[in-house]
Structure 1
Amino acid sequence: MKKGLVSLAIIGLLAGCSVSSNGNTPSKNVSYPQEAEMQADDFVYKLYTEKETYDEFEETAIYAELTYVGDQESIVISHAASPFYFPIKELTRNYEIDYAMNEPLIHTTLKKGVPFKVKYEFAGGYSDEDEAAKREFIQTIVDKGFPTGKYVVSGSAQFYVESSIEGENPNSYDMRVNIGFDVR
């Protein structure tokens, strides 16, 4: 009887230790859309790729857009070099392709209903601590473009809007969506 209870307790503990995804970690068993959009307050963030499948080393057409849809004619947002981040994960090899960016404080005026649009450009890299295969993979992207694989872009729009009320904290935004594309 005690052995049975101990076995059940161990099985319960093992089941409780399983790792689950919070929805933000790309999984190679999941299909990702070509386009994703979300709205937060008066802002709409859209991330999309023009094609679901690219040829190996073909130039990708991945875009991010931020549109102000509020009541004012325009609004000023503050952000790093760009409000858009494009970190990518290659699911077949399980490689993270970081997205580095300078972080000056830039102010951009968004006009109501007019999308602020930026095309993805590679801004990643690797370190000496990365395994040789990953360094070679990243260098291939730099030199030629994306090699064959399944990719997920975990894009985000990160910015803030100063409050018009003296002494009130700015409204901070971190809007995130995932899209995917294949390279064959």
Structure 2
Amino acid sequence: MRRLVLILSIFFMLAFGLFACGTDNSGQSNSNERPNDTEDTKQEGDFEVSINVENENENPEVHATITYIGEKEQKNIYHGGSIFFFNIYQVNGDFEHIGGMNEPLLTTTLKKDEVHKVEFDHPSLDELETGEYEFEAIADFSLDKDNYIDNKREITVSKIVNIK
């Protein structure tokens, strides 16, 4: 699993690196510019998920949001102790925090177009040294309590930031 994550991370870094090397409207090359982040918002079906990292320079504050944008007035989702798994990877280093939870099945009711925010509060945020980090949030939930596996959804968003 760890090897797969490493291979996928390298692939995405290379892919984003190639797209970042282009030209702007002036015709000047911008290959020395680096994008500030990767994807920070994603919409899949009736759900929009985002990650936000604030105070990048000192004690970062990380949270993820999920918003139901479907046709109904509200939607129940079923998940473990939290809707989100939070992971942190040091881009050019060895630091890695893989989130996990071991809780009973919980229900959250999402109201249409209302943002549901989940904070990532973990001691590892205080341990980050200067460097570049990828913060990842994985919304992991099901739409059916009785048939959890067949109705499971995983929506991943991430953001790369420099910690100074």
> TM-score when scaled to structure 1?
0.64
> What's the CA shift for 1:32?
5.3
Q: Quote the offset at 1:34 in angstroms.
A: 6.9
**Alignment map for 1:145-156 (pairs within 5 Å):** 145-156=127-138
* Counterpart Cα distance in 1 of 2:70 and 2:47: 7
1:159 to 1:32, Cα distance in 2 relative to 1, 3 A: farther
Q: How does 1:72-151 map to 2 (within 5 A)?
A: 72-122=72-122, 141=124, 144-151=126-133
Could you say what the CA RMSD is over the residues aligned between the two structures, in angstroms?
A: 3.1
**CA deviation digits over 1:99-118, x for unaligned, max 9?**
13223100000000101101
In the other structure, the counterpart of 1:69 is 69
Structure 1 stretches lacking a partner, 5+ long: 1-19, 124-140
How many pairs align?
141
State the structure with more CA Rg. 1
Q: Secondary structure at the match of 1:87?
A: strand
- Per-residue deviation, residues 117-161 of structure 1 (Å, max 9, x unmatched): 0111117xxxxxxxxxxxxxxxxx47x442212110122101011
Cα gap change, 1:161/1:170 in structure 2, threshold over 3 Å: closer, same or farther?
A: farther
Compared CA separation, residues 106 and 84, structure 1 to 2 (3 A): same
Q: What SS class does the counterpart of residue 81 from structure 1 fall into?
A: coil
Give the structure 2 partner of residue 174 of structure 1: 154
**Which runs of at least 4 in structure 1 moved beyond 6 Å after TM superposition?**
none
Find the counterpart in structure 1 of residue 143 from structure 2.
161
Identity %: 26
